[in-house]
Chain A
Amino acid sequence: MKKLLLLLAVISCLSFGTVAQDSGEDGAFRDGYPYIAFEKTDGTKTFVPSSSLIITTSGSTLTAGDYTFNLAELNKMYFSATVGIEDYEMSDPSQFVIDDSSEIYDLLGRRVKIDKMHKGVYVVKTGNVVRKISMQ
């Protein structure tokens, strides 16, 4: 059953990937952005559900739904189709910082080591951030 779940997750990722291929030059998805990601200057991100989201600012803070941010720490925000899954295309895995806690899976749901990554698509989980990586 665990394998089945993993397979479904992979299918899910593939589905997103398909949508992404329909995206515009900015790489954004055309349909469905259930989250707005708020990225701080230190790179950490918070994914806030976008449905009927109200964003307000007051003084030095920005409030988005149940989340409050210090404006001085905010770098950017953007609509996101997934909770932390992003698309990266790279030729050298070193471009993508993966620490020891990172978990890398191929599309069959098998965990792989970074030095075993070949041309293909992988799902990488580092902390709370999950990225789909396409190795060229």
Chain B
Amino acid sequence: MKKSIITIFTALVLVLTAGAQTLNVQVGSVIYQFPAEQTGDMTFSDATTLTIMGKEFTLSDITSMVVDNTAVTDGVISVAYSGTTATVKVAGNIAKYVTPVVNGAHVNIAQSDDLAQEITYILSGSSSDGEFYMSGSYKATVELNGLELTNATPVSSGAAIHIQNGKRIKVKVISATANTLVDAAGGEQKGCLYVKGHAEFSQNGTLNVTGNVKHGIKTGEYVTVKNCTINVVSAVGDGISCNEYFLMESGEINISGTSDDGIQSDLDGEVSTGETEDHENEDSGNIYLQGGTINVNCGAIAAKGIKAAGNITISGGDITVVTTGKGEWDEEDLETSAACGISADGNINISGGTISLTSTGSGGKGMKCDGVLTVDGGTINVITSGGLYYNNGTTENTNYTGNTDFVNSAYYSSPKGIKAGVKDESGSTVTYSGGIVINNGTITVTTSGRNAEGIESKNYFNVTGGHITINAYDDGVNSAQNMNISGGYLYSRSTNNDGMDANGNCYISGGVVCAIGSNSPELAIDANSEEQKKVYFTGGTLVAIGGIESGSSLSQACYSTQSWSKNAWYALYSNNEVVFAFKTPSSGGNPLVVSTSGTTTLKSGVTVSGGTSYFGGNGNIGGTVGGGSTVSLSSYTGGNGGGGPGGH
């Protein structure tokens, strides 16, 4: 009897402590996992079907039913690839809402429209000929958990992952995992990773993508990136192409080997909503770069590193774009088109981050927008080295050296560091839009190709602050309309044209301006005197090597010398206090004009130590100045005296 009591107690304890149980119903490569506590009645019908939690199985289709202690997470479907096969496991609570079809390692899962809860798809394993295709109408999460997937022979799609679902799709690149996707070269897919809806990339893993037909990653709606690393190894189209908007919060994106743009954001509809609060229902074509690292290397013809149909807003992050492609003749627009590091059809707003743009192709630009470029912070470095691109639809010249004054502007693309705004000429009517406003930040532009201006505004150019250093082949700064400098630090040198060229008036009322033009007839500071425009100089600290436009209004007294030494340090004094020291260039026009708010004097051949360096090491404020000899200055009212640099 004692034994019986012990047995009863043991049985009781066993019953009370038994673990979770799961009924695994396998149909081919799909295993439906029903937790015991959820199943309730599992009903048979007509000796042919078994229904479990609303999922009806044809008994003859069932490979096996096994009870084990597998833990099941509600709402999860896992897909494990292995060579030419894939095993799909479906949590019982969502079984009735999905229809998985597995053909080798090609997995197609259709979500029912009745589904009202989010499913998480966990993809893992490796296949050299597989795919993941999911369709549905309810938001979902796709976890990439160590997945190597190459689609060789498309079944549902040529994409490695194809999400035919217009809702929000979270793409979690699981931390500490590497995931590689390669799509089918023979497919018709829009991207190696295609999402019909909006994709939110997150987690700390790495995703490598190769797009053999079109884009690396393509979404029908917006893309956000947080934490994860995305490497587009190569793509026949863009590296990442999306609609509505693109937002990068953090993480890393590396794009190379593309035959088109690096990152492109387009409008989904016809009319932009503009930026909306919290991006709710936004369809703007905007790009928001808030943090993280972006490296884009585009070698394609006329490719853009980062391109937006709307605005581009950069508030943080490290962005490096290199374009090497030449320009091309655009058959649709009947004009030339050239490569560009960052390009927006709308505005570009920069308030933070570090941006490095290099363009080496013919006609290539660093940054361009049709709207207003506003810089309120950040560090921007631009280098272009490509020559002038010419193409009239039949003849191409990647280093055109002819005079463009009499060439249809549609036939050539000039390389430029930064260009903003649009000048539209329709008959005798000329309209200007966009422009450039620099309030803060550090901008360095270097151009060396023919016709390459440093910064060009097709409308106004306003500077209230910031540090701007330009070394350009053509005009350092050119504006189609007025130029207005009221603060900041501006160094603008051209080796073959004007340092600063305003086709409207040029107003200088503050800041430190160091403008260097090439030899006569070019000027340090030019205004459109042919149309009765002037340079209005009312204040600030000024160095103008090459002179100022004749007929200018110089209400703050200016002084000049026709003789100046190349590559020498000068110290500019105001009321006997050094306000600015500068190093003269290796070439430049005459005269050297200076002005300060006080009594202005100048010393040449000085030594400078300490202080704060400006203009790429060619300027100094606050340093200790020694030695040198006083320069004899004459009162100056405008015009240049012709000739090259005097002295040494």
How long is the Cα–Cα vector from A56 to B25 in the complex, in angstroms?
A: 10
Tell me if B44 and A79 are in contact (CB < 8 A).
no
- For the complex, what is the distance from the CA of A79 to the CA of B124, rounded to whole Å? 32
Q: Are A53 and B66 in contact (CB under 8 A)?
A: yes
Scoring A5, A24, A33, A62 by chain B CB atoms within 10 A of each residue's CB, the highest score goes to A33
A8 within 8 A of B: yes
Cβ of B39 and Cβ of A5 under 8 Å apart? Answer: no
Mask, A1-13, CB within 8 Å of B = 1, is 1001100110110
The answer to whether B17 has its CB under 8 Å from any CB of chain A is: yes
Nearest CB on A from B437, distance (A): 63
Mask, B25-69, CB within 8 Å of A = 1, is 000000000001111111110011000000000011010111110
**Does the CB pair B5–A52 fall under 8 Å?**
no
B12 contacts A by Cβ under 8 Å: yes
Residues 67 to 90 of chain B near chain A (Cβ within 8 Å): 67-68
Whether A78 and B16, one on each chain, are in contact in the complex, defined by CB atoms closer than 8 angstroms, is no
State how many angstroms separate the Cβ of A74 from the closest Cβ of chain B. Answer: 4
B38 touches A28 (CB 8 A): yes
- Which residues of B sit under 8 angstroms from A28, Cβ to Cβ? 36-40
User: Please, which residues of chain B bring their CB within 8 A of the CB of A11?
Assistant: 12
Asked if A81 meets B47 with Cβ closer than 8 Å, knowing A36-B67, A53-B67, the reply is no
Tell me the chain A residues, 68-83 only, with Cβ under 8 Å from chain B.
70-72, 74-79, 81-82
Instruction: Indicate which residue in A1, A12, A50, A72 contacts B21 across the interface (CB closer than 8 Å).
Output: A50
Cα-based distance from A74 to B19 in the complex (angstroms):
28
Question: Is A97 engaged at the interface, CB distance under 8 Å to the other chain?
Answer: no
Number of B positions contacting A (CB below 8 A):
34
**Do the beta carbons of A32 and B43 come within 8 Å of each other?**
no
Could you say which residues of chain B place their CB within 8 Å of the CB of A26?
A: 38, 40
Contact indicator per residue, chain B 194-230, by CB within 8 Å of chain A (1) or not (0): 0000000000000000000000000000000000000
A12 and B12 in contact (CB under 8 A), knowing A32-B18, A55-B65?
yes
Contact present for B1 and A78 (CB under 8 Å): no
- The answer to whether the Cβ of A44 comes within 8 Å of any Cβ in the partner chain is no
Known: A12-B8, A28-B38. A34 touches B44 (CB 8 A): no
Asked whether any CB of chain B lies closer than 8 Å to the CB of A135, the reply is no
Whether A34 touches B5, Cβ cut-off 8 Å, given contacts A52-B68, A56-B64, A57-B60, is no
Closest A residue to B46 by beta carbon equals: A72
Are B64 and A29 in contact, with the CB atoms below 8 A?
no
The answer, yes or no, to whether A31 is at the interface (CB within 8 Å) is: yes
| A34/B18 in contact, CB under 8 A | yes
The residue in B1, B42, B44, B60 that gathers the most chain A C-beta atoms within 10 A of its C-beta is B44
Is B4's CB within 8 Å of the partner chain A? yes
Q: With A29-B37, A32-B17 known to touch, is A75 a contact of B43 (CB < 8 Å)?
A: yes
Residue in chain A with minimal CB distance to B1: A1
Select one of A4, A23, A72 contacting B47, CB under 8 A: A72
CB-CB under 8 A from A111, the residues of chain B are none
Judge whether B37 and A15 touch: CB under 8 Å: no
The 8 Å CB contact of B36, one of A50, A56, A76, is A50
Q: How many A-B residue pairs have CB under 8 A?
A: 105
- When the two chains form their complex, are residues B18 and A33 in contact, meaning their CB atoms are under 8 A apart? yes
Q: How far is the CA of A11 from the CA of B19 in the complex (A)?
A: 21
- Give every chain A residue within 8 A of B66 (Cβ-Cβ): 52-55
A25 CB → nearest B CB, Å = 9
Question: Is B271 among interface residues, defined by CB-CB distance under 8 A?
Answer: no
Q: Is the CB of A54 within 8 A of B44?
A: no
B430 at interface, CB cutoff 8 A: no
State in angstroms the CA–CA spacing of A26 and B38 once bound together. Answer: 8
Would you call B21 and A71 a contact (CB within 8 A)? no
Q: Hey, which chain A residues are within 8 Å of B12, CB to CB? A: 8, 11-12, 15
Q: How far apart are B637's CB and chain A's nearest CB, in angstroms?
A: 93
Q: Separation in Å of the B11 CB from the closest CB of chain A?
A: 8
Minimum C-beta distance from B145 to chain A (A): 28
Interface residues of A in 57-103 (CB under 8 A from B): 57, 60, 62, 70-72, 74-79, 81-82
Contact of B44 among A30, A36, A51, A76 (CB under 8 A): A76
Give chain A residues whose Cβ lies under 8 Å from the Cβ of B40.
26, 28, 78
Q: Is the CB of B37 within 8 A of A24?
A: yes
Residue A19 CB within 8 A of the other chain: yes
Are the C-beta atoms of B62 and A57 separated by less than 8 Å?
A: yes
CB contacts (< 8 Å) of A74 on chain B: these are: 44, 47
Q: When chains A and B are docked, how far (Å) is the Cα of A29 from the Cα of B37?
A: 6
Chain B's closest residue to A8 (CB) is B8
> Which B residues are in CB contact (< 8 Å) with A77?
41-42, 44
**Chain A window 102-120, contacts with chain B (Cβ cutoff 8 Å), 1 for yes, 0 for no:** 0000000000000000000
Which A residues are CB-close (under 8 A) to B47? 60, 70-72, 74
Q: Which residues of chain B have C-beta atoms less than 8 A from A54's C-beta? A: 64-67
Does B8 contact A57, Cβ atoms closer than 8 Å? no
Q: Are A8 and B39 in contact (CB under 8 A)?
A: no
Contacts A52-B68, A77-B42 given; indicate if A5 touches B8 (C-beta within 8 A). Answer: yes
- Among residues 548 to 605 in chain B, which have CB atoms less than 8 Å away from a CB atom of chain A? none
Q: How far is the CA of A60 from the CA of B41 in the complex (A)?
A: 21
Q: A24-B37, A33-B36, A78-B41 are in contact. Are A50 and B67 (CB under 8 A)?
A: yes
Measured in the bound complex, the distance between the Cα atoms of B17 and A30 in whole Å is 11
Contacts of A60 in B (CB 8 A): 47
Asked whether, in the complex, the Cβ of A76 is within 8 Å of the Cβ of B43, the reply is yes
Residue pair B59, A79 in contact (C-beta under 8 Å): no
A76 touches B42 (CB 8 A): yes
* Contact (Cβ within 8 A) B39 A79: yes
Contact (Cβ within 8 A) B67 A52? yes
Measured between alpha carbons, how far is A28 from B53 in the docked complex, in Å?
A: 13
Please name all residues of chain A whose beta carbon is closer than 8 Å to the beta carbon of B20 when the two chains form the complex.
31
CA distance A60 to B44 in the complex (A): 12
Complex Cα spacing A30 to B387, Å: 75
Q: Which residues of B contact A12 (CB under 8 A)?
A: 8, 12, 15
Residues in B whose Cβ lies below 8 Å from that of A31: 16-20, 37
Complex Cα spacing A15 to B23, Å: 25
Of the candidates B8, B9, B17, B21, the one having the most CB atoms from chain A within 10 angstroms of its own CB is B21
CA distance A23 to B39 in the complex (A): 13
Chain B minimum-CB-distance residue to A69: B44
Which residues of the partner chain A approach B36 to less than 8 Å between Cβ atoms? Answer: 28, 33, 50, 79
Give every chain A residue within 8 A of B21 (Cβ-Cβ): 32-33, 50, 79
Min CB gap B53→A, angstroms: 10
Say whether B42 contacts A78, CB under 8 Å: yes
Provide the bound-state CA to CA distance between A52 and B60, in Å. 22
Q: Which residue in B4, B44, B64 is a CB contact (below 8 Å) of A5? A: B4
* 5 closest residue pairs by CB, A with B: A32-B18, A71-B47, A55-B65, A79-B36, A53-B67
7 residue pairs of the A-B complex, CB under 8 angstroms, read: A5-B4, A15-B16, A24-B38, A52-B68, A54-B66, A56-B65, A79-B36
Task: Add 7 more A-B contacts to A24-B37, A75-B44 (CB < 8 A).
Answer: A1-B1, A8-B5, A23-B37, A32-B15, A32-B21, A52-B67, A55-B67
